[in-house]
Structure formats: C-alpha cells, structure tokens
Amino acid sequence: MHSADRNEGTTRRVPQWPRAMNLNSLYTAPILAWYEANARDLPWRAPDATPWGVLVSEIMLQQTPVSRVLPVWDAWMARWPTPAALAAEPSGEAVRAWGRLGYPRRALRLHESARAITERHGGEVPSSHADLLALPGIGAYTAAAVASFAFRQRHAVLDTNVRRVLARLVSGVEYPPKSQTRAEVELAESLLPPDPPTAARWAVAAMELGALVCTARTPRCVDCPVLDKCAWHAAGRPAHDGPPRRGQTYAGTDRQCRGRILAVLRDAEGPVEKPALDVVWSDAVQRERALDALIADGLVDPLDDGRYALPH
C-alpha cells in the first residue's frame, strides 16, 4: 500500500496544462452546483451582510461551531453594527458580550481590530489580504476568508474543512497533516477558478462541503457530489495511519480555571472582591497563576482598591 502523493519533499507536481483545463473544473463544477442547492442560510452570508459582519463571524467561528456562534453574532451585530461602534466601548464590554464562546482573547483582539480599523482605515474593514493580516487576531486563513467572502477576491481559503476535503478527494487520505504544508497551499491554489467571484464561491462551497458532508468523524459520502472522483473513497476509505491527531484534556487545566474566573467577572455587574474569584477554584497555586495570566493577557483588570474587573 503505497501513498502515491505523499510528497513533502522537493518533487512537486506542477500542472503543465492551462489553469482552466486542469483538475479544477473536475472538482469545482459539481461542488459549486451542490453548494447552490445545499448551502446553509447563515446571516453572515446574506446579501446585505457587511464586511464587518463577515469579519466578526470569522473570528467567532475560529475553533467554534456555527450553532454556538449564531446567537452571539446576532447580538453583537445589533449592538455594534460598525467597527467604530465597538471601538467606542471599553474592551471589557467585548469580553462580556463574547459570553461562553471560548478563547476570550479573540474578543480582545476583535476589539483591538475595531480600533485599528477606525484609526487606520477610516472605519472601513480593509479589503486587501495584507491589511487584514496586519490586524490583531487575523492570520492567513481569516485574512483570506474575509477578502474572499466579503470582497469576492480570489484567494486560497484553507481551513480545517477544506484541508480535509482536499486530503480525501485528491490525496486519498482520511486526514490532512497535523500542520499545514506548502504542498497543501499549492494544491488549493491550483484548484482556484480563474474568475475571482467564482473563486470566492468555490472557497465557501468547499468549506461547506467539509462542514456538512465530508466531516471528520462520520462522512456522509452518499451525499457527496464528487464521490466518483474521490481518491479516498476509491482507495476504500483507509483509516488514518500514524499517531493520534489530538489529545487536549480540559478538566483540571489552567484553561478551565481561567474560564471559571472570567465567568465570574462576566456575570458580575461591576468589580468584584478577591474572595468571589477564589471560590471558583480550590487549588490556590493554580488559581493565582491563572489570575496572573489573565491579567497579563489583558482580560482582567486589577483595580487599585484590590478588586478585579473586566478591562477598560
């Protein structure tokens, strides 16, 4: 059993034929058609969604399921319909509105981004990949996603869904490598339709296929529009070989402790006394370490009077 397309090295297959003739239309046409019929009706995909709404959704969706993002996104956009509206508030309000989405540093960075957009970009979300990438909390994926979804530009939008789809469809393996490779980026770029609006459509369609059909655990291959072209399916859907892919325990970690401390501050109307934080975690050493880290991260503000609050 040889993996035909493992590469990772120097031998990179460069398409010798014109872009419009290469693999891409083979995969893109059926997936685009599938998307037209099966796309979820998400508010940040609505025709009247703003670039700011798209940006907010992308940050919230980092490592977080759509179902949990929806209500928070709705409330967020109602309260802060523009970057300037959010920028005018203390960062602690962003952290509070973030609720239980998790990874609350995202809220802080989104607030920082709102201020940067207001100050450096006249209040308009920038459209260039480079300008987006320069904003805090925005990496390669999110910059490409916003440029593509909000501004209909042509970018390889390579998230966990797309990486998995391409791993199966083209490479014939169940899961992509643990960390993104150059080869994956080149593959994704080679599949991009030439026309920017179509490329943008393809980007969201490939993601949606990964989210709804080509899922990590139990793929619904019977519903797949490119099953007949899928290398993984053709190979008999071989199981992932190699070391287990993850393993993040949560109970008892600093993360859980941080979460409990921050929850107290989110749910409080104003500053709280130290004992109110102490009761949420019995191990004092770990608790103090977590609190110090929260302060260092800017998520908690230690007041002069000894109380604690969400940041300004």
Partner DNA sequence: CAAGCGTGGCT
Partner DNA sequence: TAGCCAAGCTT
Measured CA to CA, the distance from residue 193 to residue 191 in angstroms comes to: 6
Draw the binding track, 173-192, toward DNA (x: CB under 7 A; -: no contact).
Answer: -----xx-------------
Span from 7-15, 76-84, 154-162, 186-194 in contact with DNA (CB under 7 A): 154-162
> Which residue among 30, 53, 92, 104 contacts DNA (CB under 7 A)?
104
Contact status: 91 vs DNA (CB under 7 A): no
Contact status, residue 235 vs residue 279, Cβ threshold 8 Å: no
What residues between 253 and 312 interact with DNA by CB under 7 A? 253-256, 258-260, 262-263, 293
Structure tokens at 167: 């791993």
Separation of alpha carbons 138 and 147, rounded Å: 12
DSSP 94-109: HHHHHTTSS-THHHHH
CB of 16 to DNA, least distance (A): 29
As a whole number of angstroms, the distance between CA 168 and CA 233 comes to: 8
192 or 299: CB nearest DNA: 299
- Burial class of residue 43 in the structure, from the number of CB atoms within 10 Å of its CB (0-12 exposed, 13-18 middle, 19+ buried): middle
58 is catalytic: yes
Q: How many CB atoms lie within 10 A of CB 143?
A: 23
Least CB distance to DNA at residue 136 (A): 5
Q: Count Cβ neighbours within 10 Å for each residue of 223-248 and write b for 16 or more, e otherwise.
A: ebbbbeebbbbeeeeeeeeeeeeeee
Query: Which listed range, 85-93, 187-195, 209-217, 269-277, lies at the site for DNA (CB under 7 A)?
Result: 209-217
Taking contact as CB under 7 A, which single stretch among the options 22-30, 85-93, 186-194, 247-255 is the one that binds DNA? 247-255
Tokens of residue 217, six digits: 């655990």
> Does position 152 bind DNA by CB under 7 A?
no
Looking up tokens 């980026």 gives 185
- CA–CA separation, 169 and 163 (whole Å): 10
Enter the DSSP assignment of 177: -
| 224: contact with DNA by CB under 7 A | no
**Binding residue (CB under 7 A) for DNA from 32, 72, 97, 101:** 101
Helix (H) or strand (E) holding 309: strand 308-309
Q: Which range in 2-10, 82-90, 160-168, 228-236 contacts DNA by CB under 7 A?
A: 160-168
Minimum CB separation from DNA for residue 242, in Å? 12
* HEC secondary structure over 49-91: CCHHHHHHHHHHHCCCCHHHHHHHHHHHHHHCCCHHHHHCCCH
- Taking the least distance from each CB to DNA, the nearer of 10 and 248 is 248
Which tokens sit at 196?
């920017």
Q: Which is nearer to DNA, 20 or 75 (CB)?
A: 75
Pick between residue 72 and residue 87 the one whose CB is nearest to DNA.
72
- The answer to whether the beta carbons of residues 136 and 181 sit under 8 Å apart is no
- Of 8, 36, 58, 208, which is the active-site residue? 58
Number of residues that bind DNA (CB under 7 A): 60
51 part of the interface to DNA, by CB under 7 A: no
- The reply to whether 249 sits near DNA by the rule CB under 7 A is yes
Q: Which of 34, 141, 151, 232 binds DNA (CB under 7 A)?
A: 141
Which residues belong to the active site? 58
- Contact positions toward DNA, by CB under 7 A? 42, 44-45, 57-58, 61-68, 100-105, 109, 136-143, 145, 159-161, 164, 178-179, 207-208, 210-211, 215-218, 244-250, 253-256, 258-260, 262-263, 293
